[in-house]
């Protein structure tokens, strides 16, 4: 049986909604970044940090693609505002771990902005684009750690075999995410009609990616078998991860046989963000967690 962490009060009460906002905003910018790519607006603002040589903002001469790319750049400032507010709330709460996690999230956003600039300056080099995407996946994982730290349920550690499987899921899951970027970098959605591709055979890398997904699903099913009837909190996390994996697999297959329609590819990117969150959640809930008080300070373990 688990007990949820009691809600924070006073100054620390702002930390929880800001931590959730951090998570949601970082997932949202993955989706909007996908929209930039899928509308071929990756070079809508052809330079960085300016939108073009004469202006920091989009203007009519840049057309629809300029508006899309500039809008995505502006969303970065929303992320900055949320991340800074979350850090300040963590600092005021006196919770050292929340402070350190919020610093990691906050530092990741300007790093992403710089990577975004390099992406533009290298004319959407697929390997730089892949790194840009994977950093977002890592930030989402850190956001999940912060959310769990603040209000995750108290729990005992899962059996060693389950903990080992949880880490294996994380490793294989990240291989899946990386191979997904290789597939994208080899396919038609480059972000701009003139951008270079990896030169790899899209069909071959798609099959390699699919094989890694099969392994991920097999490990997830193995975890479910080990956990059957246990009632441990990680069981729910594994079930949710399996649901995301199945939906991702269906989306991936349907988009593949239908020549990668933009809407389905965008949904697949959302699924990748949820996969990253789910992988982090499985690892967290497989391990012991003490209850924390209203300020986020560890209390006696249940």
Q: CA-to-CA distance for 245 and 252, rounded, in angstroms?
A: 10
* Distance in angstroms (rounded) separating the CA atoms of residues 24 and 140: 9
What CA–CA distances, in Å, run from 124 to 114, 127, 162?
13, 8, 40
Given this model, what pLDDT does residue 4 score?
47
Give me the residue spans of the domains in the chain: 11-285
Give the range among 37-41, 59-63, 113-117, 258-262 with minimum mean pLDDT: 59-63
Length of the chain: 302
For 272, the token pair is: 């990748």
In the predicted model, is pLDDT for residue 261 greater than 60?
Answer: yes
Q: What is the pLDDT of residues 207-260, one digit of tens each?
A: 999 999 999 999 999 999 999 888 889 999 999 999 999 999 998 888 888 877
Say what the pTM is: 0.86
Each residue's pLDDT tens digit, 94-138: 899 999 999 999 999 888 888 888 887 887 788 888 898 999 999
Task: Place 6 in a pLDDT band, splitting at 50, 70 and 90.
Answer: very low
Confidence of residue 53 (pLDDT cuts 50, 70, 90): confident
Nearest Cα to 279, choosing from 176, 179, 173?
173
Q: Which of 148, 207, 161, 217 is nearest to 182 (CA)?
A: 207
Interval 192-205: pLDDT, tens: 555 677 778 888 99
More confident residue, 198 or 18: 18
As a whole number, mean pLDDT of residues 268-294 equals: 87
Average pLDDT taken over every residue of the chain: 83
In tens, the pLDDT along 127-176 reads 888 898 999 999 999 999 999 999 888 889 999 999 999 999 999 999 99
Write down the pLDDT at residue 272: 94
Q: Is the pLDDT of residue 302 over 80?
A: no
Number of other CB atoms surrounding residue 211 within 10 Å? 12
pLDDT surpasses 80 at 71: no
Tell whether the model's pLDDT for residue 297 goes beyond 60.
no
Residue 98 CB coordination number (10 Å): 27
DSSP string, the chain: ---PPPPP-GGGGGHHHHHHHHHHHHHHHHHHHHHHHHTT-TTSS-SSSSSBTTBSS--GGGHHHHHHHHHHHHHHHHHHHHHHHHHHHHHHHT-HHHHHHHHHHHHHHHHHHHHHHHHHHTTS-HHHHHHHHHHHHHHHHHHHHHHHHHHPPPBPPPPHHHHHHHHHHHHHHHHHHHHHHHHHHHSS--SSTT-----S-HHHHHHHHHHHHHHHHHHHHHHHHHHTT---HHHHHHHHHHHHHHHHHHHHHHHHHTT--HHHHHHHHHHHHHHHHHHHHHHHHTS-B--B-TTS-B----
């Amino acid at each position: 049986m688990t007990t949820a962490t009691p809600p924070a009060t006073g100054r620390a009460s702002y930390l929880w909604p800001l931590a959730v906002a951090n998570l949601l905003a970082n997932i949202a910018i993955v989706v909007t970044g996908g929209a930039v790519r899928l509308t071929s607006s990756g070079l809508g603002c052809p330079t960085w940090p300016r939108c073009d040589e004469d202006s920091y903002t989009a203007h009519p001469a840049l057309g629809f693609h300029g508006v899309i790319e500039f809008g995505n750049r502006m969303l970065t400032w929303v992320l900055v505002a949320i991340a800074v507010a979350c850090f300040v709330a963590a600092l005021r709460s006196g919770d050292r771990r929340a402070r350190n996690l919020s610093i990691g999230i906050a530092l990741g956003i300007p790093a992403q902005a710089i990577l975004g600039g390099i992406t533009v300056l290298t004319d959407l080099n697929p390997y730089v684009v892949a790194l840009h995407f994977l950093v977002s996946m890592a930030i989402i994982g850190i956001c999940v750690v912060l959310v769990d730290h603040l209000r995750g349920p108290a729990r005992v550690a899962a059996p060693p075999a389950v903990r080992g499987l949880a880490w294996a899921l994380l490793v294989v899951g990240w291989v899946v995410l990386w191979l997904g970027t290789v597939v994208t970098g080899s396919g038609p959605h480059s972000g701009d009609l003139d951008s270079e591709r990896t030169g790899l055979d899209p069909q071959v890398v798609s099959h390699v990616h699919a094989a890694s997904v099969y392994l991920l699903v097999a490990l997830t099913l193995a975890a479910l078998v080990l956990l059957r009837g246990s009632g441990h909190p990680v069981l729910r996390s594994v079930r949710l991860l399996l649901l995301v994996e199945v939906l991702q697999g269906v989306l991936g297959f349907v988009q593949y046989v239908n020549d990668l329609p933009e809407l389905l590819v965008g949904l697949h990117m959302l699924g990748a963000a949820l996969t990253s969150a789910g992988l982090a959640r499985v690892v967290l809930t497989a391990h012991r967690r003490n209850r924390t008080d209203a300020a986020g300070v560890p209390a006696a373990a249940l």
